[in-house]
Amino acid sequence: MKTPPLPAALVTGACSGIGREIARRLAVRGDHALVLVSENRERLDVVAREVFAAHGTLVHPIVCDLARPESAGELHAAVRALGVDVDVLVANAGTFFFGEVADADPARANTMLQLHVVTPSLLCTRFARDMRARRRGRIMLTSSISAWRAFPGIAYYGGTKTYLRTFAAALRSELAPYGVTVTTLAPGATDTGLYDPTVVDMDRARRFGVMMDPGKVADAALRAMFSGKAECVPGAFNRFATIAMRLVPQRVIDLVRRRAPWLPVRVG
């Protein structure tokens, strides 16, 4: 008798940082084929080959620029053409820039809005519909601990990550009756390529122990997602920070923003 194909786990932003670590760990688990999405074909092929060589995992690499309004529809169509059921959706792709709203490059801001708001939301609409019909599935959306407060200087980033956090919480309630779980992943500072090294002194941040290892973030994220948890803030320091952030008055945050020499002020 022919064995049915493995269901798939789709990971966006899968060729670097947290997404790559999540993809590697999903391959180790071996319960899913992988659909890995990136806009960079070369890096994607490297990760796909590495994962296949290490674990024999069936990998479908899909090259897609997720900062385009039509990308969620295209990605869903591409997955349907592969004939796989996506039982795990990890919407993780993201970008970052420092800079006040009035200084931001509108094109860069638009990319962030598409990548953090439009595309993950519409991916959820399309894939959640399939999961709801099958009455099984796991969705994880990558937000950030910056979603806990309003941070001047990263309004676009924090605002979009706040949207993702509340969107995920509402979607979780909608899908609960169908056996589909939704988890918000909210990392703190993590040692990946997200930050422009000419703006953020990564060596200093590492020396101060501020940056978390992306593998540890991925471990915590997958534990939370597969146990159906609502939210995952990896690392004790970051969990403490989310509590502290709730208590600190906004005027203190504003003062730190104006006085702290280590925070970039006008970077587009």
Amino acid sitting at position 166? T
Residue 262, amino acid? W
Q: Is 93 in the site for ligand NAP (CB under 6 A)?
A: yes
Closer residue to ligand NAP (CB): 56 or 268: 268
Taking CB under 6 A as the criterion, the residue among 9, 38, 51, 90 binding ligand NAP is 38
Among 10, 11, 36, 39, binds ligand NAP (CB under 6 A): 39
- Output the smallest distance, CB 3 to ligand NAP, in A: 32
Query: Quick one: 131 or 232, whose CB is closer to ligand NAP?
Result: 232
Q: String of b and e for 149-188 (b: at least 16 CB within 10 Å)?
A: eebebbbbbbbbbbbbbebbeebbeebeeeebbbbbbbbb
Handedness of CA 73, 75, 77, 79 (dihedral sign): negative
> Virtual CA dihedral for 126, 69, 38, 79, nearest 10 degrees?
30
Q: Is 118 in the site for ligand NAP (CB under 6 A)?
A: no
Q: Does 16 bind ligand NAP (CB under 6 A)?
A: yes
Q: Which of 8, 13, 163, 168 touches ligand NAP by CB under 6 A? A: 13
> Is residue 57 part of the contact set for ligand NAP (CB under 6 A)?
no
- Of the pair 137, 234, the CB lying nearest ligand NAP is at 234
Decide if 157 is catalytic: yes
> Phi-psi region for residue 72, left (φ > 0), alpha (ψ -120 to 50) or beta?
alpha
Q: Which of 8, 9, 10, 15 binds ligand NAP (CB under 6 A)?
A: 15
Asked if 190 interacts with ligand NAP (CB under 6 A), we say yes
Distance CA 241, CA 46 (A): 36
Using alpha carbons only, give the angle 196, 267, 116 rounded to the nearest 5 degrees: 65
Stretch that binds ligand NAP, among 23-31, 59-67, 73-81, 235-243 (CB under 6 A): 59-67
Determine if 181 is a binding residue for ligand NAP (CB under 6 A).
no
Binder of ligand NAP out of 144, 181, 183, 184 (CB under 6 A): 144
**DSSP conformation letters of 181-250:** EEEEE---SBSSTTS-TTTS-HHHHHHTT-SBPHHHHHHHHHHHHHTT-SEE--SHHHHHHHHHHHHS-H
Positions in the binding site for ligand NAP (CB under 6 A):
13, 15-19, 38-40, 43, 65-67, 92-96, 115, 142, 144, 187, 189-190, 192-194, 214
Q: What residues act catalytically?
A: 157
